[in-house]
């Protein structure tokens, strides 16, 4: 017989589940909508009941809810207030436009603050009208607490009632904030919403005024300190100047202010005397040069003499007299009286000229001497003042330090005084950066409860709850309803699918070769032929989770099908607790396998030939007191070895797995196991536990056979496994 590859068998259920759910199609994830639809169909009544119950609860809850009204007012929050004075005189920092989002969020947080709740409660006198407030809000008054005063309890309850029903919404791309308040009383809702808007504006104005008042108080205090420092520094400066005898002059700065200069009276006098000494030196040099010029010059050659008007007149007179004398000498002798008269006149004129010229020359000399003496006098005074100035400069070091300190204090005082005047001017002119856009009107229609919204939420909640319940049911439910469940839930290959039959004895259906059951077992037979790499397994154990799942019928049908193919088959009933296979062959249960296990008799003594060619049968024999110990004997291995030499395949009809140690022991001995599962039978984890026990005993499970499968069951959703699949050709004539 040619060998073919064995049927694929996943290693674990988890691996099979991953392989089914995560499909490699370009790295994508594939959702099995058909499987979801089948789950929904199976749990349709559960889902419908849960959803309907939640909808009813939602409707009842909505009807029992107290109607609430929501009133909304809106305010515009600008980043900067209007500049009334034309320039920014505010003492508050101005936020940058890059920080606008944080600024607006801060304003929203201020709106939600407890301080605003307190302002609104005080504005509406809610603390004194707490009973009316609780009645309007449909909330109960707080219970007395001996540890807290009653007034404090009422205040906290009022503030909590405001906080729980207030909502502030500011869209990301807007500066208009919506203030909404919800209350069973529509008038109260409108009052609180409008009060929030007005109190928010007042709070901003009050905060600005408080900041200005604080700034004015601070500036006034700093101004007084600066003034005291200025007076003290100027007093120290004057005391030091008086003590040192320093007299400093005041100088005017470029900005029009005056400050104490570094020039003193001594320095000013030195500068003036030094200039006078320089002028005297120049005058002396000029007078000396002039004197040296005229000192040895004849009198009538001196320019100053010749320039003298008297000398010029006398020279004119002398010339006239000399002319007249020349005329007289031409007529008379020297002794002549007229000549003598003119000579005397000339002599008188010469004497006058000599006297005047000599006086002019002496005046030049005197001017030189005067200039020299003046230069010497001024030089001596300058020298004296220089010494005094040097001494004064040594004393001015401390004076200059005190003067600079006084100037600094004066500048600080004048700056503080100017800022104080600006803050005082802007204190009474305050503009708010918050303005009311819409006032809250008394709402007419309630905002809650909203029937359609609540029912939609109830529907979603019901669907979610139903989904959770269905998910838990599916996780806890390991019932195998279709072949796909065998692979998905158990990780086993499906060897055969046996349909359900109306006949109580399924073996009767095997008598008809074209019955659905017979066709299904023929398919199982074919699968067994290629179940391993060598073809048929030499020994095959047939077991199930529990009794009455079709295990014995499957063993019988598989043995009969293989025998009809010409295989030498022996069917051994190894269920030593509740044997039933001998009824199918109408033979006695004794002697049987248990006799072979307890003795060394020959196999032929218990081997029965059946009416089916190539099929032999060994019954279970007497029921032993301890089947597990008997099956664990080495004698069973020897029996199986001998049967393998005689037959092509040994089929063991074993006991169920759960609660017994027989099946795992037999599975480890047989080498190959076929697991029988009844379709749509709720095992509540028993099937997985049975397979786990088999695998723990190192059993090789070839696959599963799904028995009593109803392909037309609407709950299963696998109608394509219809009867036509098994009855193809039955109507052929």
| Helix spans in 65-185 (H) | 100-111, 114-123, 130-137, 150-164
DSSP annotation string for 153-175: HHHHHHHHHHHHTEEEE--TT-S
Helix (H) or strand (E) run with residue 293 in it: helix 265-294
What ranges make up the beta strands (E) of 338-382? none
Q: Above 90 in pLDDT, residue 571?
A: yes
Task: Give the model's pLDDT for residue 106.
Answer: 87
**pLDDT tens digits along 398-431:** 677 777 888 888 888 788 777 767 766 655 555 6
- How far apart are the C-alpha atoms of 406 and 228, rounded to whole Å? 11
- How far apart are the C-alpha atoms of 506 and 449, rounded to whole Å? 62
- How far apart are the C-alpha atoms of 521 and 562, rounded to whole Å? 10
Q: Give the single-character DSSP code of 574.
A: -
Task: Give the model's pLDDT for residue 39.
Answer: 79
Supply 235's token pair: 């007093």
Q: Are 486 and 704 in contact (CB under 8 A)?
A: yes
Nearest to 670 by CA among 658, 690, 691, 654: 654
- How far apart are the C-alpha atoms of 430 and 443, rounded to whole Å? 34
- How far apart are the C-alpha atoms of 707 and 520, rounded to whole Å? 10
Among left, alpha and beta (phi > 0; psi -120 to 50; other), residue 595 is alpha
| Most confident range, picked from 310-324, 425-439, 642-656 | 642-656
Q: Are 137 and 161 in contact (CB under 8 A)?
A: yes
- How far apart are the C-alpha atoms of 533 and 540, rounded to whole Å? 15
| Three-state secondary structure call for residue 181 | strand
Mean pLDDT of 609-630: 89
Q: Above 90 in pLDDT, residue 550?
A: no
Task: Give the model's pLDDT for residue 649.
Answer: 93
Q: Are 552 and 653 in contact (CB under 8 A)?
A: yes
Task: Give the model's pLDDT for residue 8.
Answer: 36
Mean pLDDT of 2-12: 37
Nearest to 106 by CA among 35, 3, 177: 177
Task: Give the model's pLDDT for residue 24.
Answer: 41
Whole-number mean pLDDT of the chain? 79
Mean pLDDT of 299-321: 75
Among left, alpha and beta (phi > 0; psi -120 to 50; other), residue 691 is alpha
Confidence of residue 84 (pLDDT cuts 50, 70, 90): very low
Mean pLDDT of 115-136: 88
Confidence of residue 722 (pLDDT cuts 50, 70, 90): very low
- How far apart are the C-alpha atoms of 619 and 678, rounded to whole Å? 24
């Amino acid at each position: 017989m040619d060998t073919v590859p064995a049927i694929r068998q996943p290693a674990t259920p988890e691996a099979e589940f991953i392989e089914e759910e995560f499909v490699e199609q370009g790295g994508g994830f594939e959702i099995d909508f058909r499987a979801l639809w089948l789950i929904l169909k199976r749990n349709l009544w559960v889902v419908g009941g849960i959803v309907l119950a939640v909808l009813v609860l939602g409707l009842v809850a909505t009807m029992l809810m107290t109607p609430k009204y929501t009133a909304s007012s809106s305010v515009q929050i600008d980043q900067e207030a209007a500049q009334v004075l034309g320039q920014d005189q505010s003492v508050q920092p101005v936020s940058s436009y890059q920080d606008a989002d944080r600024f607006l969020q801060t304003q929203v947080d201020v709106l939600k603050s407890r301080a605003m709740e307190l302002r609104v409660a005080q504005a509406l006198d809610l603390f004194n009208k707490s009973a009316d407030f609780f009645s309007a809000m449909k909330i109960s008054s707080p219970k007395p607490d001996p540890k807290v005063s009653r007034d404090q309890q009422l205040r906290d309850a009022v503030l909590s009632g405001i906080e729980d029903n207030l909502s502030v919404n500011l869209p990301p791309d807007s500066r208009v904030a919506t203030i909404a308040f919800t209350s069973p009383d529509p008038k109260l809702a409108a009052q609180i919403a409008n009060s929030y808007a007005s109190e928010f504006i007042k709070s901003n104005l009050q905060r600005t005024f408080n900041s200005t008042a604080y700034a004015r108080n601070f500036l006034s205090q700093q101004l007084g300190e600066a003034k005291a420092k200025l007076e003290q520094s100027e007093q120290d400066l004057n005391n030091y100047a008086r003590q040192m005898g320093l007299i400093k002059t005041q100088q005017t700065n470029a900005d029009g202010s005056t400050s104490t200069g570094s020039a003193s009276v001594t320095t000013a006098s030195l500068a003036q005397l030094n200039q006078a000494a320089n002028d005297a030196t120049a005058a002396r040099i000029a007078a000396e040069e002039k004197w040296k010029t005229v000192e040895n010059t004849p009198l009538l050659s001196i320019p100053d003499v010749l320039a003298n008007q008297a000398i010029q007149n006398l020279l004119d007179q002398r010339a006239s007299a000399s002319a007249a004398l020349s005329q007289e000498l031409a007529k008379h002798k020297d002794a002549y009286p007229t000549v003598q008269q003119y000579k005397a006149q000339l002599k008188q004129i010469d004497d006058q000229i000599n006297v005047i010229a000599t006086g002019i020359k002496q005046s030049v000399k005197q001017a030189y001497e005067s200039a020299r003496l003046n230069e010497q006098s001024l030089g001596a005074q300058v020298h004296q003042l220089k010494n005094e100035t040097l001494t004064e400069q040594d004393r001015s070091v401390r004076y200059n330090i005190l003067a600079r300190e006084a100037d600094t204090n004066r500048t600080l005082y004048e700056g503080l005084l100017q800022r104080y005047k600006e803050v005082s001017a802007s204190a009474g002119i305050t503009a708010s950066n918050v303005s009311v856009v819409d006032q809250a009107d008394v709402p007419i229609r309630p905002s809650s409860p909203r029937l359609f919204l609540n029912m939609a939420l109830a529907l979603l909640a019901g669907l979610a709850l139903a989904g959770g319940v269905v998910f838990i049911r599916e996780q806890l439910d390991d019932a195998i309803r279709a072949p796909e469940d065998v692979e998905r839930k158990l990780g086993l290959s499906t060897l055969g699918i046996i349909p359900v039959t109306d006949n109580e004895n399924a073996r009767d259906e095997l008598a008809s070769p074209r019955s659905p059951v017979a066709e299904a077992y023929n398919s199982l037979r074919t699968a067994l032929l290629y179940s391993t790499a060598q073809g048929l397994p030499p020994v095959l154990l047939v077991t199930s989770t529990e009794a009455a799942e079709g295990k014995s019928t499957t063993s019988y049908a598989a043995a009969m099908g293989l025998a009809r193919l010409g295989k030498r088959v022996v069917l051994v009933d190894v269920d030593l607790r509740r044997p039933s296979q001998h009824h199918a062959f109408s033979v006695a249960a004794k002697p049987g396998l248990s006799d072979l296990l307890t003795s060394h008799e020959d196999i032929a003594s218990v081997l029965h030939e059946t009416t089916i060619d190539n099929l032999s049968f060994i019954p279970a024999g007497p029921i032993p007191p301890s089947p597990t110990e008997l099956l664990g004997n080495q004698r069973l291995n020897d029996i199986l070895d001998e049967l393998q030499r005689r037959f092509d395949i040994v089929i063991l009809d074993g006991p169920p797995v759960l609660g017994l140690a027989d099946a795992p022991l037999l599975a480890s001995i047989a080498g190959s196991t076929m697991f029988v599962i009844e379709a749509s039978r709720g095992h509540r984890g028993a099937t997985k536990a049975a397979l786990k026990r088999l695998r723990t005993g190192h059993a090789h499970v070839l696959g599963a056979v799904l028995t009593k499968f109803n392909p037309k069951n609407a709950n299963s959703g696998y109608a394509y496994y219809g009867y036509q699949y098994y009855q193809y050709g039955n109507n052929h004539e």
